[in-house]
Structure 1
Amino acid sequence: MGLLVEYGDYILSGFVLAVIIRIFTSRKTIRRNGEALRTPPGTLPLVGNSIKFLQPRWDLLDWFNKCQCQFGYETLALTVPTFPSAVLIQDPRNLEFVFKNESLFTKGAFVKRRSWDLFGNGIINADGDFWKLQRKAGSAFLNTANLKVLTDVLLPRYISESLDDLHLSTKRDTVDLQHVFHEITTKLMGKMAYNMEMHADDIFSQSFDFASGATAKRFQNPLWLVTEYFLGSEFRRSVSAVKEFGRHIVANAVQGREEQTAKDEPTDPDSKVDHISGSLIRSLLDALGDEQIVADAALNYLSAGRDTTGQALTWTFYLLLQHPEAVTKIRAEVQDLLDQQMQQQPDSPSPTLITSSNLPILNADLTLFTPQSLPYTTAAFHEALRLYPPIPFEFRQAQADTTLPDGTFLPRHSVVMWCLWAMQRSQSTWGYDAEDFRPERFLVCDDEHQGQGQSQTQDDHLSENKKNSRHFAVGKSTSEFPVFHGGVRTCLGRKMAEAIAVQVIPSVVWGFDLEQGWEGPLEGRRSHTSLTLPMEGGLPVKVRRRVVD
């Protein structure tokens, strides 16, 4: 007994070392065309890439970017003691293969074991038929009729409320734009999907944000089972609060179900909102039945619809703060659209100061603001998505032996990882200016080949008539621009996110001048650890009313 006390630390260290050696020696070496894959910079004996994975989120993203800068499209071996055999794919051809073989590359035990506590049976974890049922319910919710109510009624209403708040904010030192945008997306999802009033600072939102961060750390911390056993009490409390809210969503839906189905076909805007409110939760109840599973599914969709769009808008405005020339172009685009409306409605008053009281001109009716009518604004949003993808990492697990297009052989249960953050900065895909914010790469002239995009030199020499005839086009495959994923799991909410963006961005940019509201360099904002890409500390800005000459 005395020896155990005296040498306990050494015995434990020896045991851990033996386990690590056992794991490494039993793991299959992944090869490409018979040759072992190269490893990323900083790979260490025994611990592999564990130290890198334990870095803060921002440093880890930077490391993945260095990998793609050094190795280009080459597939690399990832070695973390508690991971199965794993690879980092960087070639869009390999990612396309993963997208096209959904039944082969599933979330698998690797992902589900880490995300189960938070997401349970929801669509984020689901595979196969169970995933299809939830996907079908989500597709029914995001139909054309519902999106029209969102763009024509709900979204302008919530934007108007947020503009009121921003006008009041001109009297304060700073306002957090991330909170403003999350408030809009939270209210939208709460009303449309669940027929509930929700806000960004609800206890649920705070609990979910913490649980998301803790879940993300499970993918970075090889010893998460050990550390959570001793330090996971707050995570468990947060998950409990999230699950309780999920049950509340379902109970509220069940209670109001009969009343909702008995209503007549709506005619006025408010009755249209009432008619679609809660349509997602009703679809989930019809498709899944089991109320606990429905609660999991509801929470999954709430996270997807609330967080990613709000965060994407936050990073968009972060980039606009750094690029005032882009703000000028957005305003000019809006002005052109307003001028067109004035020609069609000559009796409409011309705005001088945009406030919520005369919003009718920006009223110009916000439904005029679409990806088609505001191509530069749409391009700026997608350029922000490219540089700051809301889901920076993705994992899949091979369910059978297979070979990637580049010749890499993957044994069954191998983990495939790709880092969107790094892939979207690849010069091989995006050119020499891949690190730069340049919305023009998503614009093409009407008489050009679809999807070619404009180079910086081409854009500088375009005539005004040419610039006015440009339209938005991604110009890349889903595996080259995988922000909305690809294959059968392509993001259902893409059109909703774009609709929100092209109304929110011009409304704020047209009505306000924004200035940096934090100390330090303008380029100094980072993301904290999460399953998505929230801005650490929010986006504090100084807000001033804009006077239009």
Structure 2
Amino acid sequence: MGLLLGSAHYLLAAVVFALLVRAVTGKKAIRRNGEPLRNPPNTLPLVGNGIQFLQPRWNLLSWFDRCQRQFGYETLALTVPTLPPGVLIHDPQNLDYVFKHEGLFTKGNFVKTRSWDLFGNGIINADGDFWKLQRKAGLSFLNTANLRVLTDVALPQYLSESVKELQSTKPNQVVDLQDIFHEITTKLMGKMAYNMEMHFSSPFSSSFDHASGCTAQRFQNPLYPLTELFFGRKFRKSVSIVKKFGLEIVSRAMEDQKAFQDEDGSKTTSFSSSSSASDKLDQISGSLIQSLLSAIPDSPSTVADAALTYLSAGRDTTGQALTWTFYLLLSHPEVLSKIRSEVDSVLSQQQQPLSSEDLPPRPGCCPSHLPSSPQSQCPTPSQSFTKPYDSTPQSPLKSAKPKQNSVLVWCLWAMQRSKLTWGKDADEFNPGRFLDSETGRLAHKSAAEFPVFYGGARTCLGRRMAEGIAVQVIPAVAYLFDFERGWGKGERRSGSSLTLPMGGGCLFL
């Protein structure tokens, strides 16, 4: 033990010395029109913004928000002694340029080295042809016919099961809506994408959540190789469980593939009018993993990485967006009342009572309130890319001249609170901001203004799926249930993760 502590002291001393040397020798400042970019608030000598990145996640998000409130759309310099030069952008025009020039801005080693243990060769780390293969598989899975089965067959079934679970609760029993929503999205992805029965309560889910939190901390803690050496045992165990589950998905899919080939090898996704709902669901179940196996036939571990990445994207982001949406809706009963009135209007035209067996699967229920607010739709709170090339075409970023291998950062959490973009009421919960004042229809917001589904070549493939889930789940749960807050005073905050889970859950009575 003494030897271990002694080694730790030497390692820590070496790291501190390296930080000081790098800080003192300095890095070439990123300039705009010959002048160095201004520093954000709380920038310190030697350590720059390093202390901010070591803060708890909620404090870091608040700091990013403070940056945009103080400097508006101005591009700022980020400095952390152990990292390449950084640029922080808030201007939608700059983000639009990044989206439109995907080839100039890659994930780079800064992102890949930190996310590799969890996601490996998954699409989140992939570039070039390998990224295209995985994206093509995702497009095949999320085709129009499959999405119709999701909205008309699978989702009503799993939503009905969750409604029955809620209806069976005892008076004053505490319910975590975050778990309810994640159970729905986990079942959907498990059945449709992988032809497996999956539940949010499985050991895989808790292991993935822990691994995701530790991976997120790597982006904040420049000393993570050292801290994980002594405190990373649970993280390594969690990653092992996640990887084992990914290989199990692939193994099951290969067995399904072999069984199918042994039958007649002529599976089809065209449905006849006589096909039952369960037949339609069974015919497309596992279509994502089968597409990945066809695209990457010689590497089960790579297919597993891709499958796990899609599972997280399809399960976590949608479930978390629903959680934060209901958190805000139940804090603003006047908006909740409008949704219920809209559901009433739709149901009155049906002339039939609503039950858990006949939930409204139509997008006609509450499309106008779906976006709810910039504050609630931020499943991935920050992004960073590396600029691998030293040349950049004419662009809004050109005057800032980012250096080769510099890190480009934007924080969706902060951008969605910008009064320059959203007006003076940006801090208020105002779903009406998404409606055209004259027509009452959904107002268009560009991907750069509202980048919750990303933009450009990497636009989120699952947007239509997420919206299809939301327009069923929101009206059904809002209409059928009355909730009371199940925690004390104070606001809910995000837990540590690569996405945006609600710390402590969304508890209601």
* Aligned residue in 2 for 1:70: 70
**1:427 is the counterpart of 2:419:** yes
> Which residue does the alignment assign to 2:503?
536
Indicate the residue corresponding to 1:496 in structure 2: 465
Match of 1:398 among 387, 396, 402: 387
Query: Once the 2 structures are TM-superposed, how far is the Cα of residue 24 of structure 1 from its aligned partner?
Result: 5.4
The aligned runs of 1:230-379 (5 Å cut-off) are: 230-260=230-260, 261-263=265-267, 266=271, 267-289=275-297, 290-342=299-351, 348=352, 351=353, 355-356=355-356, 359-360=357-358, 363=359, 366-368=360-362, 370=363, 374-379=366-371
Distance 1:88 1:367, change over 3 A: same
Q: 1:18 to 1:297 in 2, by over 3 A?
A: closer
Q: Does 1:414 align with 2:406?
A: yes
With over 3 angstroms needed to count, the CA separation of the structure-2 counterparts of 1:429 and 1:402, relative to structure 1, is farther
Tell me the CA shift for residue 27 of structure 1: 2.0
User: Is the contact between residue 23 and residue 47 of structure 2 (CA under 8 Å) also seen in structure 1?
Assistant: no
**Contact 2:105-2:388 within 8 A present in 1 as well:** yes
Aligned pair partner of 1:439 in 408, 431, 437: 431
Partner of 1:345: none
Separation in structure 1 between the aligned mates of residue 139 and residue 400 of structure 2, nearest angstrom: 35
In the alignment, does 2:442 pair up with 1:472? yes
Distance in 2 (alpha carbons) for counterparts of 1:140 and 1:513: 39
TM-aligned CA distance change 1:502 to 1:224, over 3 Å: same
Which letter does structure 2 place at the counterpart of 1:397? T
Q: Secondary structure at the match of 1:394?
A: strand
Amino acid at match of 1:470: G
| Equivalent residues in 2 for 1:146-295, closer than 5 Å | 146-260=146-260, 261-263=265-267, 266=271, 267-289=275-297, 290-295=299-304
Q: 1:65 & 1:309 partners in 2: Cα distance?
A: 24
Q: Secondary structure in 1 aligned to 2:113?
A: helix
Task: Indicate conservation of the 8 Å contact 2:139/2:461, yes or no.
Answer: yes
Q: Is the 8 A contact 1:377 1:505 kept in 2?
A: no
Partner SS state of residue 311, structure 1: helix
Q: 1:124 matched to which residue of 2? A: 124
Q: Secondary structure at the match of 1:410?
A: coil
Q: Report the TM-score, using the length of structure 2 for normalisation.
A: 0.93
Shift in Å, 1:379:
3.5
- In structure 2, C-alpha distance between the alignment counterparts of 1:18 and 1:315, rounded to whole Å: 42
Q: 1:13-51: per-residue Cα shift (whole Å, max 9, x none)?
A: 477235433255252211111110111111111111111
Matched residue count: 492
Please tell me whether the aligned partners of residues 377 and 452 of structure 2 are also in contact (alpha carbons under 8 angstroms): no
Q: Which residue of 2 aligns with 1:45?
A: 45
2:433 aligned partner, one-letter code = R
User: What is the TM-score normalised by the length of structure 1?
Assistant: 0.86
Secondary structure in structure 1 of the residue aligned to 2:68: helix
Residue 95 of structure 2: aligned partner:
95
Distance 2:408 2:456 in 1: 16
- Does structure 2 retain, via aligned residues, the 8 Å contact 1:108–1:397? yes
Letter in 1 for 2:389: A
Q: Following the alignment from structure 1 to structure 2, what is the Cα–Cα distance between the partners of residues 48 and 144?
A: 49
- Paired with 1:79 and 1:177, the residues of 2 have a C-alpha distance of 39
Deviation at 1:388, TM superposition (A): 4.4
Q: CA deviation at 1:427?
A: 0.4
TM-aligned CA deviation for residue 402 of structure 1:
4.1
Contact 1:387 1:435 in 2 (8 A): no
Separation in 2 of the partners of 1:314 and 1:14?
44
Contact 1:72 1:90 in 2 (8 A): yes
Provide, for residues 403-457 of structure 1, a one-character-per-residue CA deviation record: whole Å limited to 9, x for no partner: 5515110111000000000001000000000111111111125xx4xxxxxxxxx
Distance 1:14 1:386 in 2: 42
Query: Is the alpha carbon distance of 1:339 and 1:228 closer, same or farther for their aligned partners in structure 2, counting shifts above 3 Å?
Result: same
Q: Pick closer, same or farther for the CA change 1:163–1:12 going to 2, 3 Å.
A: closer
- The answer for unaligned runs of 5 or more in structure 1 is 343-347, 449-468, 543-549
Aligned equivalents of 2:391, 2:423: Cα separation in 1: 31
Which of 475-484 and 200-209 deviates more? 475-484
Which one is further off, 78-87 or 323-332? Answer: 78-87
- Does the residue aligned with 2:324 lie in a helix, a strand or coil? helix
Structure 2 unaligned residues grouped into runs of 5+: none
**C-alpha separation in 2, matches of 1:12 and 1:533:** 32
Confirm or deny: 8 A CA contact 2:328 2:376 kept in the other structure: no
8 Å contact kept, 1:107–1:395: yes
Alpha-carbon distance change, 223 to 12 in structure 1, aligned in 2, over 3 angstroms:
closer
- How far residue 172 of structure 1 moved from its aligned partner, in angstroms, is 4.8
SS in 1 for 2:371: helix
Aligned partners of 1:247 and 1:136: how far apart in 2? 21
SS of aligned partner of 2:168: helix
